[in-house]
Structure 1
Amino acid sequence: EKSQISQYSEYYRLKAAGVMVRVDTNPHLMHHKVMIVDGVIVLTGSFNWSASAENENNENLIVIKSKAVAEAYRAEFMKIWNQSVTDT
Protein backbone atom coordinates (compact mmCIF):
# COMPACT_ATOMS: atom_id res chain seq x y z
CA GLU A 1 0.00 0.00 0.00
CA LYS A 2 1.48 3.32 -1.09
CA SER A 3 0.74 5.03 2.25
CA GLN A 4 2.96 2.47 4.01
CA ILE A 5 6.07 3.41 2.02
CA SER A 6 8.03 5.54 4.49
CA GLN A 7 11.56 6.11 5.74
CA TYR A 8 11.17 2.88 7.73
CA SER A 9 10.05 0.82 4.75
CA GLU A 10 12.46 -1.44 2.86
CA TYR A 11 10.56 -0.74 -0.37
CA TYR A 12 13.13 1.50 -2.06
CA ARG A 13 16.09 -0.59 -0.87
CA LEU A 14 14.52 -3.73 -2.33
CA LYS A 15 13.65 -1.94 -5.56
CA ALA A 16 17.21 -0.56 -5.88
CA ALA A 17 18.55 -4.09 -5.43
CA GLY A 18 16.50 -5.27 -8.40
CA VAL A 19 13.77 -7.05 -6.44
CA MET A 20 10.38 -6.97 -8.17
CA VAL A 21 8.15 -4.94 -5.85
CA ARG A 22 4.60 -3.81 -6.40
CA VAL A 23 2.11 -1.47 -4.73
CA ASP A 24 -1.14 -2.91 -3.43
CA THR A 25 -3.97 -0.73 -4.74
CA ASN A 26 -6.72 -2.58 -2.88
CA PRO A 27 -8.46 -0.12 -0.51
CA HIS A 28 -8.37 -2.70 2.29
CA LEU A 29 -5.23 -3.06 4.39
CA MET A 30 -3.17 -6.14 3.51
CA HIS A 31 -1.74 -7.25 6.83
CA HIS A 32 -0.32 -10.68 5.97
CA LYS A 33 3.03 -11.57 7.46
CA VAL A 34 4.15 -14.73 5.77
CA MET A 35 7.17 -16.39 4.24
CA ILE A 36 6.93 -19.43 1.96
CA VAL A 37 10.11 -21.50 1.69
CA ASP A 38 10.64 -23.94 -1.19
CA GLY A 39 6.89 -24.34 -1.71
CA VAL A 40 6.52 -26.49 1.39
CA ILE A 41 7.29 -24.47 4.55
CA VAL A 42 5.15 -21.54 5.72
CA LEU A 43 6.19 -19.08 8.43
CA THR A 44 3.29 -16.89 9.55
CA GLY A 45 2.05 -14.96 12.56
CA SER A 46 2.19 -11.49 14.08
CA PHE A 47 6.00 -11.28 13.75
CA ASN A 48 6.98 -8.16 11.76
CA TRP A 49 10.47 -9.28 10.61
CA SER A 50 12.08 -6.34 12.41
CA ALA A 51 14.60 -5.85 15.21
CA SER A 52 11.89 -4.60 17.56
CA ALA A 53 9.72 -7.64 16.83
CA GLU A 54 12.66 -9.90 17.56
CA ASN A 55 14.01 -8.13 20.65
CA GLU A 56 11.20 -6.12 22.26
CA ASN A 57 7.67 -7.04 21.20
CA ASN A 58 5.48 -9.95 22.18
CA GLU A 59 5.06 -11.64 18.80
CA ASN A 60 4.10 -15.07 17.53
CA LEU A 61 5.46 -17.05 14.62
CA ILE A 62 4.33 -20.48 13.55
CA VAL A 63 6.20 -22.77 11.16
CA ILE A 64 4.07 -25.15 9.11
CA LYS A 65 5.51 -27.86 6.85
CA SER A 66 2.77 -28.62 4.35
CA LYS A 67 2.65 -28.37 0.57
CA ALA A 68 -1.12 -27.82 0.73
CA VAL A 69 -0.83 -24.94 3.20
CA ALA A 70 2.09 -23.44 1.25
CA GLU A 71 0.02 -23.59 -1.94
CA ALA A 72 -2.94 -21.88 -0.23
CA TYR A 73 -0.68 -19.04 0.94
CA ARG A 74 0.98 -18.84 -2.49
CA ALA A 75 -2.42 -18.58 -4.19
CA GLU A 76 -3.45 -15.74 -1.85
CA PHE A 77 -0.15 -13.95 -2.49
CA MET A 78 -0.54 -14.31 -6.26
CA LYS A 79 -4.11 -12.97 -6.10
CA ILE A 80 -2.87 -9.83 -4.33
CA TRP A 81 0.24 -9.59 -6.56
CA ASN A 82 -1.86 -9.76 -9.73
CA GLN A 83 -4.17 -6.99 -8.44
CA SER A 84 -1.24 -4.72 -7.56
CA VAL A 85 0.66 -2.32 -9.80
CA THR A 86 4.27 -1.49 -10.48
CA ASP A 87 5.41 1.85 -9.07
CA THR A 88 6.95 4.15 -11.65
Structure 2
Amino acid sequence: MPIELNRDARSQAVASIERYFAEELDQRIGNIAASALLSFFLEEVGPLVYNQAVSQVQERLQERVQELDIEFNEEEFQYWRRRQAAFKPKR
Protein backbone atom coordinates (compact mmCIF):
# COMPACT_ATOMS: atom_id res chain seq x y z
CA MET A 1 0.00 0.00 0.00
CA PRO A 2 1.75 3.17 -1.16
CA ILE A 3 1.92 6.07 1.24
CA GLU A 4 0.12 9.06 -0.23
CA LEU A 5 0.18 12.63 1.01
CA ASN A 6 -2.53 15.13 0.26
CA ARG A 7 -1.54 18.18 -1.78
CA ASP A 8 -1.13 20.49 1.23
CA ALA A 9 0.95 17.99 3.24
CA ARG A 10 3.14 17.27 0.21
CA SER A 11 3.74 21.00 -0.37
CA GLN A 12 4.70 21.49 3.27
CA ALA A 13 7.03 18.48 3.16
CA VAL A 14 8.74 19.71 0.00
CA ALA A 15 9.17 23.19 1.54
CA SER A 16 10.63 21.58 4.66
CA ILE A 17 13.14 19.59 2.59
CA GLU A 18 14.16 22.76 0.74
CA ARG A 19 14.60 24.58 4.04
CA TYR A 20 16.60 21.68 5.53
CA PHE A 21 19.02 21.74 2.61
CA ALA A 22 19.41 25.51 2.84
CA GLU A 23 19.83 25.79 6.61
CA GLU A 24 21.49 22.51 7.58
CA LEU A 25 23.56 21.66 4.50
CA ASP A 26 24.09 25.18 3.15
CA GLN A 27 22.96 23.94 -0.26
CA ARG A 28 20.08 24.84 -2.50
CA ILE A 29 17.73 22.13 -3.71
CA GLY A 30 15.05 22.93 -6.21
CA ASN A 31 11.37 22.19 -5.85
CA ILE A 32 11.46 19.31 -8.35
CA ALA A 33 14.48 17.69 -6.72
CA ALA A 34 12.94 18.07 -3.25
CA SER A 35 9.72 16.52 -4.51
CA ALA A 36 11.64 13.61 -6.06
CA LEU A 37 13.56 13.09 -2.82
CA LEU A 38 10.31 13.07 -0.86
CA SER A 39 8.83 10.50 -3.27
CA PHE A 40 11.92 8.32 -2.86
CA PHE A 41 11.74 8.38 0.93
CA LEU A 42 8.00 7.76 0.96
CA GLU A 43 8.47 4.70 -1.26
CA GLU A 44 11.71 3.40 0.24
CA VAL A 45 11.53 4.25 3.97
CA GLY A 46 7.85 5.07 4.43
CA PRO A 47 6.73 1.42 4.61
CA LEU A 48 9.29 0.73 7.36
CA VAL A 49 7.91 3.56 9.51
CA TYR A 50 4.33 2.58 8.68
CA ASN A 51 4.90 -1.07 9.59
CA GLN A 52 6.53 -0.14 12.89
CA ALA A 53 3.58 2.10 13.74
CA VAL A 54 1.11 -0.67 12.90
CA SER A 55 3.10 -3.09 15.07
CA GLN A 56 3.05 -0.68 18.01
CA VAL A 57 -0.69 -0.18 17.65
CA GLN A 58 -1.23 -3.95 17.54
CA GLU A 59 0.80 -4.39 20.75
CA ARG A 60 -1.17 -1.67 22.51
CA LEU A 61 -4.49 -3.12 21.38
CA GLN A 62 -3.48 -6.57 22.60
CA GLU A 63 -2.59 -5.08 26.00
CA ARG A 64 -6.01 -3.41 26.19
CA VAL A 65 -7.82 -6.61 25.15
CA GLN A 66 -6.00 -8.52 27.89
CA GLU A 67 -7.17 -5.92 30.42
CA LEU A 68 -10.82 -6.33 29.40
CA ASP A 69 -11.33 -9.54 31.37
CA ILE A 70 -10.07 -7.84 34.53
CA GLU A 71 -12.01 -4.62 33.96
CA PHE A 72 -15.31 -6.18 32.93
CA ASN A 73 -15.31 -9.59 34.61
CA GLU A 74 -18.42 -10.48 36.59
CA GLU A 75 -18.53 -13.27 39.13
CA GLU A 76 -20.95 -15.99 38.19
CA PHE A 77 -23.70 -17.49 40.33
CA GLN A 78 -23.77 -14.70 42.89
CA TYR A 79 -27.50 -14.53 43.60
CA TRP A 80 -27.51 -16.94 46.56
CA ARG A 81 -24.28 -15.60 48.01
CA ARG A 82 -25.61 -12.04 47.96
CA ARG A 83 -28.95 -13.14 49.35
CA GLN A 84 -27.28 -15.08 52.14
CA ALA A 85 -25.02 -12.14 52.99
CA ALA A 86 -28.01 -9.78 53.08
CA PHE A 87 -29.91 -11.93 55.58
CA LYS A 88 -27.10 -12.78 57.98
CA PRO A 89 -28.30 -12.31 61.53
CA LYS A 90 -26.74 -9.38 63.34
CA ARG A 91 -25.04 -10.15 66.61
* Same structural fold, with TM-score higher than 0.5 when normalized by the shorter chain: no
> Higher relative contact order at CA 8 Å, sep ≥6: structure 1 or structure 2?
1
Structure with greater helix share of residues: 2
TM-score by length of 1: 0.30
Structure with greater strand share of residues: 1
TM-score by length of 2: 0.29
